[in-house]
């Protein structure tokens, strides 16, 4: 799809919409432990295991999860907050722990530059989605199961709705979020989460 300059331009309304769509299609889906199990099976790592805990309410929203890795070789945890990459005092909307943990899992060095980190996350998600086996397992093991009909919420809707559990629908929306993230959405996760003036 061709990106016109208007589609790339940051506005506060577009950032707010992007944040809901990002939470729906990136944070929620790639933070789902079943999805992370598929990633671990498809792209095994010698040392790292995915882990999750209820988030500390001082740093994150109540009732949210915090994703980190367990290093089996060193017998310790790798956490984006403790490593100094995720700091909600400086970057108020930085809810990207599941993305930081995936970068580390894939041995992608986390840049000290906030925009570069996010561009690396976007590239990583595109690489994961380009793997036909990952997509096949995502569809076969999670999306097609009737019991998962109400697994993922659609946070872009005012009323409580759930995602349409159709692989093509979900992939189109994930790819759209990645394009928006790359074009202007990265501003949401930097500083106060505003468009540059």
Given a cut of 70, whether residue 7 has pLDDT beyond it is no
Given a cut of 50, whether residue 5 has pLDDT beyond it is no
Confidence band of 197 (pLDDT split at 50, 70, 90): confident
Contact between 72 and 48 (Cβ < 8 Å)? yes
pLDDT number for residue 60: 47
Residue whose entry in the numeric block shows the structure tokens 């432990």: 33
Chain segment 98-119, per-residue pLDDT in tens: 999 999 999 999 999 999 999 9
pTM: 0.91
Helices (H), the chain: 5-8, 12-22, 28-30, 33-42, 97-105, 114-129, 132-137, 167-183
Residue whose entry in the numeric block shows the structure tokens 């992370």: 36
Contact between 167 and 35 (Cβ < 8 Å)? no
Residue whose entry in the numeric block shows the structure tokens 């990106």: 3
Beta-bridged to residue 51, according to DSSP, are 68
Contact between 163 and 24 (Cβ < 8 Å)? yes
Phi, psi of 122 (to 5 degrees): -60, -45
Residue (of 111, 121, 127) closest to 181 by Cα position: 121
Q: Cα(8)–Cα(46) distance, rounded to whole angstroms?
A: 40
Chain segment 119-162, per-residue pLDDT in tens: 999 999 999 999 999 999 999 999 999 999 999 999 999 899 99
Handedness of CA 62, 152, 124, 34 (dihedral sign): positive
Q: Cα(6)–Cα(8) distance, rounded to whole angstroms?
A: 5
């Amino acid at each position: 799809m061709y990106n016109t300059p208007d589609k790339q331009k940051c506005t506060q309304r577009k950032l707010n919409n992007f944040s809901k769509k990002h939470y729906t299609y990136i944070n929620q889906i790639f933070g789902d432990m079943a999805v992370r199990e598929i990633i671990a099976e498809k792209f095994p790592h010698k040392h790292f295991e995915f882990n999750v805990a209820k988030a500390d309410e001082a740093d994150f929203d109540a009732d949210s999860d915090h994703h980190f890795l367990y290093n089996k070789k060193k017998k310790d945890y790798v956490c984006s907050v403790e490593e100094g990459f995720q700091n909600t005092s400086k970057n108020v909307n930085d809810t990207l722990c599941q993305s930081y943990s995936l970068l580390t899992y894939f041995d992608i060095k986390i840049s000290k530059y906030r925009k570069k980190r996010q561009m690396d996350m976007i590239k990583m998600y595109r690489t994961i989605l380009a793997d036909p086996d990952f997509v096949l397992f995502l569809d076969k093991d999670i999306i097609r199961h009737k019991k998962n009909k109400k697994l993922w919420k659609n946070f872009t809707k005012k009323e409580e709705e759930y995602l349409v559990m159709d692989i093509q629908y979900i992939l189109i929306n994930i790819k759209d979020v990645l394009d928006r993230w790359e074009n202007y959405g990265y501003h949401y996760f930097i500083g106060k989460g505003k468009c540059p003036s």
